[in-house]
Amino acid sequence: MANAAKNAGHEALVKYGWWYSHRFLVLRRISQLLILAMYLTGPLLGVWILRGNYSGSMLLGVIPLSDPLMMLQTLVSGHVPQVPAQSGWAAWSEWYALIGGIIIALAYALFASRLFCGWVCPLGLVTDFAAWLRRKLGLRSSATIPATLRYGILVAIIIGSAITGTLVWEWVNPVSALGRGLISGFGHSASSGVITGLIFGFGASIWLIVVVFLFDLLVVEHGWCGHLCPVGALYGVIGCKGVLRISAENRQDCTRCMDCIHICPEPQVLRGPLFGKQESPLVLSKECISCGRCIDVCSEKVFQIKTRFHRSGVEE
């Protein structure tokens, strides 16, 4: 029998304890906050681990990292992409940006589907809070928006950038806005105080974050990540053949409590592997964000992490 959405994970909590039922969530938060902290060590401590922001940065002043979507927009708009470079490398900043985009794309293509969305994106802190609050308040009714809409938005952004010669998405990108706001805000907080620094850092872009939060809370469940975000759409395409996958390995033990469905930001990806007895138990959908929360909340230990080459558990 299905559990209430607001109680998702309670059985696992009682059965195995707090750490077991929250370990992937905690590790994700550590990852998200650690990456943010690596941006902040420069302005706060003078030790530059990551210089720049989530759109383009330099790791330890040597390794370039670029957002593939921003790089695509830049290329099709006819501009030269750049990342922050040390003074001795300034002339090579455009090549660093291209190399940085390739590095990021290859890394996410190799490991798992949408790792950026689950383990790096700072906006996940906002959307996860909206989803948690929605469950606790019992707000289950939702507008209907096709999950494929994000891919249409992605294509429209690329075409729009090519036609207008501008970075169309960067005008309204809440992921970049939140990242820049936090980095700039905390960077100024040492001299002006945390609250003043954050206000200075976010400026008018704070409305983007508020709109995403209210949209997820009041309009569409998992609306931003699950239906609209073109950044997630691109990372889904990039990581569709990633090696690491969630697997409903012990699906014969499923009690249909639906906790995993309630907690998953992309619940449609679990239905086939979990309930389709003639399908592979591997979650191979490019829409999975590899967050591991289904593993956390399952009291029957149905889910495990496997490689995409794993085939045990498939019924002949």
Alpha carbon distance 40, 211 (integer Å): 26
The reported pLDDT for the residue numbered 12 is: 96
Q: Where residue 315 falls among pLDDT bands split at 50, 70, 90?
A: very low
Which long-range CB contacts under 8 A does 12-17 form with residues at least 24 apart? 12/259, 12/296, 12/297, 12/298, 12/299, 14/299, 15/299, 16/299
pLDDT > 70 fraction of the chain, expressed in percent and rounded:
85
pLDDT of the residue at 86: 53
**Residue-wise pLDDT tens digits, 243-289:** 999 999 999 999 999 999 999 999 999 999 999 888 899 999 999 99
Q: What is the dihedral of CA 97, 100, 104, 110, to 10 degrees?
A: 130
Average pLDDT over residues 28-49: 90
CB atoms within 10 A of CB 1: 6
Residues 6+ positions from 132 with CB-CB distance below 8 Å: none
Q: What is the rounded distance in angstroms from the CA atom of residue 266 to the CA atom of residue 220?
A: 12
Residue entry with tokens 């990342």:
83
pLDDT in tens, 132-146: 999 999 887 777 888
- Please report, for the chain, the start and end positions of each structural domain, with discontinuous segments joined by +: 5-19+246-307, 26-85+93-236
Query: Average pLDDT for residues 94-106, to the nearest whole number?
Result: 84
**Cα 50 from Cα 176, distance rounded (Å):** 15
Which pLDDT does position 80 carry in this prediction? Answer: 61
